[in-house]
């Protein structure tokens, strides 16, 4: 499909991004509910979603704060979950690097898994797009998603306080995380990284300040990187 | 959930610093570094951050759930394994969540 103007690139982005509402809305809703269960009020919950806009990192921070982990550990763990954004940022740079800096800053603020994935796939299909058209597509792709993220957080926070006990909502966070991890286990290296992380986290659970999680995270990354090297060497020989 | 009282000062410190940090991670290459290439070994480790951190966060919550006072719980273990299996097989996040929640409620109902 050809895109002649930045305007049509924007609307193509909106169409490509719209299906992700179905993914983002339930997550935002769940975050609102879980945050309310953790004692946050509606405004705090909304502020969390507006300032951070990162579901997995928000759930991580919330969980660790409830465990009374030190603030440094809360931040380090949640930012580690968000490190993939640096990867997205690096991979978008060749496409969007030539646009004005305020647009890049805005694009950075609204960078989420879905907008990144659908934009980078569109750029790979459309080599002839100008940087301005690529940026227009990007803004189009986030347009349906970001307002839904804010709005459904509020809805979740409002219904969260009305949720009856006995719904076992304590387990909403583990189920959500497992559901996000499982499809990401694409290669042997990913599976090895996740397995190492589980084993290390369980072994080092006694370490104070939730440092066991940091050990598990670093250990998992090293194992993943090493297994990737090993499998690519085997593939070459 | 464990202790519902998260100190307000801690909460706002985390919201603001996590927001700044997340923006920094998103902006660092796009905004500041431009198109200089990153060393291979950095990219190789960055690829595994999510699958290295999230399982470590979840594993203790599954094996020693807070709601049961840290005692291994069949409904929660079954729900976790169901979510993992469905998520891995279907690559569909929402299908995995609903299967896991369904298994949790089914087991809680049967064993409850």
Residue B36 covered by a domain: no
Q: Is A21 on the interface with B (CB under 8 A)?
A: no
Residue B29 covered by a domain: no
Residue B100 covered by a domain: yes
Residue B86 covered by a domain: yes
Residue B67 covered by a domain: yes
Residue A190 covered by a domain: yes
In this model, does residue B1 exceed pLDDT 50?
A: no
- B53 three-state secondary structure: helix
Residues of chain A with pLDDT under 70: 1-4, 165-166
> Pick from B71, B39, B62, B42: which is nearest to A197 by CA?
B62
In this model, does residue B5 exceed pLDDT 80?
A: no
Chain A residue with Cα closest to B57:
A213
**Residues in chain B within 8 Å Cβ distance of A176:** 97
What's the domain range around A67? 6-168
Looking at the structure, do residues A114 and A29 belong to the same domain, yes or no? yes
Burial A70-93 (b: 16+ CB within 10 A, else e): ebebbbbbbbbbbbbbbbbbbbbb
Which ipTM was obtained for this model? Answer: 0.85
CA distance A160 to A7: 40
pLDDT of residue A3: 53
Looking at the structure, do residues A111 and A60 belong to the same domain, yes or no? yes
pLDDT of residue B2: 44
pLDDT of residue B35: 59
Residue A179 covered by a domain: no
Q: Are A169 and B1 in contact (CB under 8 A)?
A: yes
Chain B residue with Cα closest to A199:
B56
Chain B residue with Cα closest to A191:
B51
List all residues of chain A from 131 to 150 with a beta carbon under 8 Å from chain B. none
What's the domain range around B81? 58-111
Looking at the structure, do residues A209 and A113 belong to the same domain, yes or no? no
> Pick from B83, B99, B50, B97: which is nearest to A22 by CA?
B97
Looking at the structure, do residues A109 and A161 belong to the same domain, yes or no? yes
Q: Which of A115, A143, A168 is the last residue of a domain?
A: A168
By residue count, chain A amounts to 237
> Pick from A60, A69, A24, A95: which is nearest to A210 by CA?
A69
Q: Is A158 on the interface with B (CB under 8 A)?
A: no
CA distance A68 to A48: 18
Residue B23 sits at φ, ψ, to 5 deg, of -60, -40
Residue B37 covered by a domain: no
The mean pLDDT of B36-53, rounded to a whole number, is: 81
Q: What's the domain count of chain B?
A: 1
Greater model confidence, A117 or B62:
B62
Residue A114 covered by a domain: yes
Residue A193 covered by a domain: yes
CA distance A88 to A124: 14
Q: What's the domain count of chain A?
A: 2
CA distance A216 to A194: 9
Q: How distant, in Å, are the alpha carbons of A20, A72, B85, B96 from that of A145?
A: 7, 30, 28, 21
pLDDT of residue A94: 81
In this model, does residue B3 exceed pLDDT 60?
A: no
User: Shortest Cα distance from B105 to chain A (angstroms)?
Assistant: 8
Looking at the structure, do residues A141 and A221 belong to the same domain, yes or no? no
CA distance B75 to B68: 11
Residue A1 covered by a domain: no
In this model, does residue B19 exceed pLDDT 50?
A: yes
């Amino acid at each position: 499909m050809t895109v002649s103007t930045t305007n049509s690139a924007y609307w193509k982005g909106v169409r490509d991004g719209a299906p992700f509402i179905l993914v983002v809305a339930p997550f935002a809703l769940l975050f609102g509910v879980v945050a309310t269960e953790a004692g946050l009020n509606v405004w705090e919950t909304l502020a969390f979603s507006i300032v951070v806009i990162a579901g997995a990192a928000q759930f991580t921070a919330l969980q660790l704060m409830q465990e009374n982990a030190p603030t440094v550990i809360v931040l380090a763990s949640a930012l580690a979950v968000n490190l993939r954004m640096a990867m997205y940022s690096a991979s978008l740079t060749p496409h969007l690097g030539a646009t004005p800096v305020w647009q890049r800053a805005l694009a950075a603020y609204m960078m989420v898994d879905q907008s990144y994935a659908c934009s980078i796939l569109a750029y790979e299909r459309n080599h002839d797009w100008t940087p301005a058209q690529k940026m227009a597509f990007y803004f189009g792709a986030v347009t349906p998603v970001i307002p839904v993220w804010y709005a459904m957080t509020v809805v979740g926070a409002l219904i969260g306080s009305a949720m009856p006990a006995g719904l076992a909502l304590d387990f909403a966070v583990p189920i959500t995380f497992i559901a996000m991890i499982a499809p990401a286990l694409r290669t042997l290296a990913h599976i090895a990284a996740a397995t190492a992380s589980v084993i290390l986290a369980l072994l080092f659970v006694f370490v104070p300040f939730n440092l066991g999680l940091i050990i598990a995270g670093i250990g998992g990354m090293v194992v993943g990187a090493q297994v990737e090297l090993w499998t690519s060497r085997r593939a070459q020989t | 959930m464990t202790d519902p009282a998260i100190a307000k000062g801690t909460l706002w410190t985390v919201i603001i610093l996590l927001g700044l940090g997340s923006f920094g991670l998103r902006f660092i290459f796009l905004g500041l570094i431009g198109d200089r290439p990153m060393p291979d070994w950095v990219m190789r480790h960055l690829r595994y951050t999510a699958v290295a951190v999230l399982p470590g966060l979840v594993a203790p919550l599954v094996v020693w759930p807070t709601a049961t006072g840290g005692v291994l719980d069949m409904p929660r273990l079954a729900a976790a394994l169901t979510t993992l299996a469905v998520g891995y097989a279907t690559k569909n996040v929402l299908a995995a969540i609903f299967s896991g929640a369904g298994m949790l409620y089914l087991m809680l109902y049967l064993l409850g």
